[in-house]
Amino acid sequence: MVISQFSPEIHDKISFYVYRLIDPRNGNTFYIGKGKGDRVFAHANDALVFEAEEDGMSEKISTIREIHRSGLEVIHVIHRHGLDSDTALEVEAALIDAYAGLSNEIGGHGSRERGVMNALQVQAIYSADAIDKITEKCLIIKINQSSIEYHNGSLYDATRGTWKMNIDRANKADYVLSVMDGIVKAVYSDLTWRKHDEHIGRIEFVGNPAPKDITDKYVGKRIPDEYRKQGMASPCLYVNC
């Protein structure tokens, strides 16, 4: 039997939950989410009334509509239920990390700081000396290995853009700290920010490696815990700006 909503008494009991949407044609999980009530069914229901042009559809909606056209229904799996909101976020993030090829448009909560990494990376994070306090006007930019690979191995190019930020505020920073897995990998100075030519509303910088005294102060060290708290979803954080 296929259902498109929970009964009212279920709404009162299930609380927050984490779910997977599965394509019955191949058994692949194509979307993972967190919600309450009938959230798990909303994606399939929305896809039925989606009126945008084909090239404007998200991958998720496109997949759901293809499933419907084949005469089948999306398989809804509740992975964990009876959760509070924060726990549901963590479970959702862990599942997003575990399944490749999802149609989720953004990564899971905390994936930049506490996502999938090997044992050596975990050791590096927790054994690195912590920065006691950042005293300069800095902009912390959090990147990941995928971004570096996308930029052909260039840490600089992965760090410098493109970012959705206010250019006037970005110009107040004297340094950019390039941070991966909570560890400062590089510091850049002599910053010039400019609007990106192709991505409207986003900016990038041109800069140089910071002087040795600044590099020695920060590179290889763990950023203060206050900049690694859960809920800091933005990859760009202002410090003293």
Q: What is the pLDDT of residues 60-108, one digit of tens each?
A: 888 898 998 999 999 999 999 999 998 998 889 888 878 877 766 555 5
Q: Are residues 16 and 74 in the same domain?
A: yes
Out of 66, 86, 109, a domain closes at 109
CB-count exposure of residue 58 (10 Å: 0-12, 13-18, 19+): middle
Q: At what angle do helices 39-48 and 59-69 cross, to 10 degrees?
A: 70
How many domains does the structure of the chain reveal? 2
| Residue 58 belongs to domain with CATH number | 3.40.1440.10
Domain boundary among 109, 130, 162: 109
**pLDDT of 52 over the 50 cut:** no
Residue where a domain stops, chosen among 109, 136, 167: 109
pLDDT number for residue 81: 92
Is the domain of 232 the same as that of 124? yes
132 and 200 share a domain? yes
Residue 130: phi, psi to the nearest 5?
-90, 145
Judgement on whether residues 88 and 158 belong to the same structural domain of the protein:
no
Looking at the chain, the whole-number percentage of residues with pLDDT higher than 70 is 83
Tell me: do 100 and 157 sit in the same domain: no
* Domain with 57 in it: 8-109
The reply to whether 92 and 190 lie within a common domain is: no
Average pLDDT along the chain: 83
Instruction: Show the tokens assigned to 86.
Output: 């924060």
Cα–Cα distance measured from residue 178 to residue 161, given in angstroms and rounded to the nearest whole number: 11
Task: Tell me, yes or no, whether 30 and 88 share the same domain.
Answer: yes
Encode pLDDT of 162-188 as tens digits: 898 899 999 999 999 999 888 899 999
Give a yes or no: residue 24 inside a domain: yes
* Nearest partner of 187 among 166, 170, 202, 209, judged by Cα: 209
| 127 and 45 fall within a common domain | no
Residue 173 lies in a domain: yes
Query: Is residue 135 domain-shared with residue 230, that is, in the same domain?
Result: yes
Among 31-35, 60-64, 201-205, 207-211, the range of highest mean pLDDT: 207-211
125 shares its domain with 78: no
In the predicted structure, residue 120 carries a pLDDT above the cut 70: no
pTM for the structure as a whole: 0.55
The pLDDT value recorded for residue 2 is 66
Q: What residue type is assigned to position 120 of the chain?
A: L
Q: Would you say residue 114 has pLDDT above 90?
A: no
Residue 124 predicted with pLDDT over 80: no
Same domain, 127 and 69: no
Same domain, 123 and 233: yes
C-alpha triplet 67, 70, 75: angle, nearest 5°: 35
